[in-house]
Structure 1
Amino acid sequence: MSLKARLKKQQGLRRAVKRAKVYKEYFADATFMSRHLLDGGPDPEHEQYRIMILSHSLEKGLSYRNARVFGRTKAEDLMARLEKSSDTTRRSSAFSIGFEVLRSWTDFIKSREVEDVQAAAIRGRLDALSEDSSPVGVGFRAGVASAAHLDATSWGGLPFEEFVRGRHSTRRFADSPVSDDDLQLCIELAMRSPSACNRQMVGLRVFDDPKSKELLYKTLHGTGGVDFDTCRLAVVTFDARSLDFYGERNQGYLNAGLFAMTLVYSLQWKGIGSCLLQFGNTFAEERTLAQGLSLQPGERIAVGIAFGVPEPDGVVPASIRRDVSEVFSVR
């Protein structure tokens, strides 16, 4: 027996090595996250996420029951950020959202106060800003919206239980293309997933070119049995530049998970099979992959996904779930 084989049999040594690797990986994570947090520097992405956070805070206040006059400091901060924003930010959705939220906020203040000097001044600055830089995506109205569509009776006829029970991971795909229109719609629906302060920091990166696809296929875990030639491969990422403080260190993974599950259900709804592929790689492997796939500097990979038109009459693992009593408790 070789020395390496004998060392592998030493359980105490194996645990010590595993523990050292855990510390190494978490230290690399901490270094990366610290470098790319929202207060990391004058990055256009930082600028946009800060606008999103302030916008969400004002929107949330507008939706309160019996809302009182509020948000003067945040409104002023948001207005100043819009005025100082870079050309890149002025072409972004974040800019438009901030602009429209402030417009709703000034309308709200006007409805509560006979005359408010600060709100009137901000409205004037908005008008001037609109003339100087027309916000993209104008046509929606941020602020508050009717919740009438949330009436439970309108959802009662949907066979949601059957839909959820019918979902399974698909690894065998037919040689048929996925419609770009269907994929765009599924992504749009996945974007309805909750995200921290509506920052929408999650992205879907699809790789169809053979070199990138092969790199991803060989790096991700769980690709065994996945039809490489007929599937499309992608990664769900989150932008670490959207995170604000140490308490949000895992927020990106949570948001990416919410997005990924909504995406999987949306794909199923359109008859597209999918399989989430675990990203359990080292930090160094992730950075190599990020470079090879030309990801943004602050992007982190949360999970991979293979998708395509399911093979007719294919088989899948039964994957029986645990009993509800084993995962549910009331205390």
Structure 2
Amino acid sequence: MNQVKNLLGKGVLVYLRVLRIYFYDLSRFYRHSNVKQLFVSEDAFKGRITILYHVIEKGLTMPETRLGFGIPVVNDLMDLLIVYSKEGKDVNILEFKHSAAVLEEYFSFHQERGFDLPKDLIDKYLDYRKVVKSEIPARQLKFTRDQYFKSKNEPFEQFALSRYSCRNYSQEEIPNDILEKCVKLAMKSPTSCNRQLNRIYVVKNKETRDEVLKLQYGNRGFGHLASTLFILTANISYFQGVNDRNESYINTGMFAMSLLNALHHYEIGACPLNWSVDHKRDQALRELLGIPDNERIGLVISCGFLPDHFEIASSPRLEVNNIAKFFN
């Protein structure tokens, strides 16, 4: 082994170890994710169905919902539910039932407002209902600002259940001292070996916010209303071995949830925005904000004070017994 080390050098051997362990992750992701869009498992259907229905329910809660929005997504969701149903899969799962209910809400929403959707979409909807059992329309959640924050100082169970992602903000600027208090609370989140590797970029300048939002997928229709954006990163120079490869994401996730709770406590609405982008967008954000190469970008959070009245996507959660396995 020493001869191999001498021949290749320590740097090459470490690189090979890193490559091998990343290939371990890569091969599992390729085998079991639905990246090939083949829908070979029920879970693959669940993931895609959830993405599609969530796009629609978000659209229904936009500050100014555009009538006739999301027709390609509605088409795709109907197609997927028909295929899922015809393959004899479980139509009693939450994802399927809520998707059907959201579709019913979509068509009812437009009918109630006297908006004529395209005839081919209506015809397809009528055919879809012959296959998929009609569901009672879903209803997105309506709040006043006071209702939404009424549990901000209650015991943790009430507090945690009262927080939702908000996509409607007022134009009032958030003072820096409140933002600093929120970041200080987030810093109490657990961190790997107390290495405190998280970094946060607070963007309030409108022109810079707009540039960040152009690079992030998924803020259309509401991102421009946010008065502040947080970009969360983690300094990977703190890590000492290949087994630390995913610690940045773990630490950033914990930090983000602590920050979201802090924002809720200080009566600020917020919505986490994924950073699932290609290398070109990642590099563009680095250049825009001066993020060094040794920091890994985790996610973006939009936030702002809330208006007097707003709506929130219902986004129902699974039951505990759907996700938890106990070893007593």
Q: TM-score, normalised by structure 1?
A: 0.51
Aligned CA distance change for structure 1 residues 274 and 230 (closer, same or farther; 3 Å):
closer
* Partner Cα distance (1:203, 1:179) in 2: 20
Equivalence for 1:315: 311
Native 8 Å contact 1:203 1:237 kept in 2: yes
Paired residue secondary structure (1:228): helix
* Partner Cα distance (2:321, 2:188) in 1: 31
How far 1:218 moved relative to its partner?
A: 1.0
Aligned CA distance change for structure 1 residues 227 and 215 (closer, same or farther; 3 Å):
closer
Q: 2:250 aligns with which of 254, 279, 284?
A: 254
Native 8 Å contact 1:172 1:225 kept in 2: no
Paired residue secondary structure (1:277): strand
Q: 1:194 aligns with which of 184, 190, 196?
A: 190
1:218 aligns with 2:194: no
1:301 aligns with 2:301: no
Equivalence for 1:241: 237
| Paired residue type of 1:185 | K
How far 1:177 moved relative to its partner?
A: 1.4
> For each residue in 1:178-197, what CA deviation from the matched residue of structure 2 results, as whole angstroms up to 9, or x when unmatched?
12111111110100000011
Paired residue secondary structure (1:225): coil
How far 1:158 moved relative to its partner?
A: 4.9
Native 8 Å contact 1:176 1:230 kept in 2: no
Equivalence for 1:266: 262
Deviates more, 1:207-216 or 1:169-178: 207-216
| Paired residue type of 2:199 | G
Equivalence for 1:185: 181
> For each residue in 1:198-228, what CA deviation from the matched residue of structure 2 results, as whole angstroms up to 9, or x when unmatched?
1110011012223321221011122123241
1:168 aligns with 2:175: no
Q: Equivalent pairs: percent with the same residue? A: 29
Native 8 Å contact 2:234 2:252 kept in 1: yes
Native 8 Å contact 2:213 2:223 kept in 1: no
* Partner Cα distance (1:191, 1:320) in 2: 29
How far 1:287 moved relative to its partner?
A: 1.5
Question: Structure 1: which 5+ runs fail to align?
Answer: 1-22, 31-156
Equivalence for 1:287: 283
How far 1:320 moved relative to its partner?
A: 0.8
| Paired residue type of 2:241 | F
Native 8 Å contact 2:226 2:302 kept in 1: no
Paired residue secondary structure (1:314): strand
Equivalence for 2:40: none
* Partner Cα distance (2:308, 2:314) in 1: 17
Question: Structure 2: which 5+ runs fail to align?
Answer: 1-18, 27-152
| Paired residue type of 1:189 | L
Larger Rg: 1
> For each residue in 1:120-178, what CA deviation from the matched residue of structure 2 results, as whole angstroms up to 9, or x when unmatched?
xxxxxxxxxxxxxxxxxxxxxxxxxxxxxxxxxxxxx9521111111000111011111
Equivalence for 2:48: none
* Partner Cα distance (1:210, 1:185) in 2: 22
Native 8 Å contact 2:204 2:227 kept in 1: no
How far 1:262 moved relative to its partner?
A: 0.2
* Partner Cα distance (1:253, 1:210) in 2: 28
* Partner Cα distance (1:165, 1:259) in 2: 19
Q: Please give the root-mean-square deviation of Cα atoms over the aligned residues, in Å.
A: 2.2
* Partner Cα distance (2:201, 2:301) in 1: 10
| Paired residue type of 1:170 | C
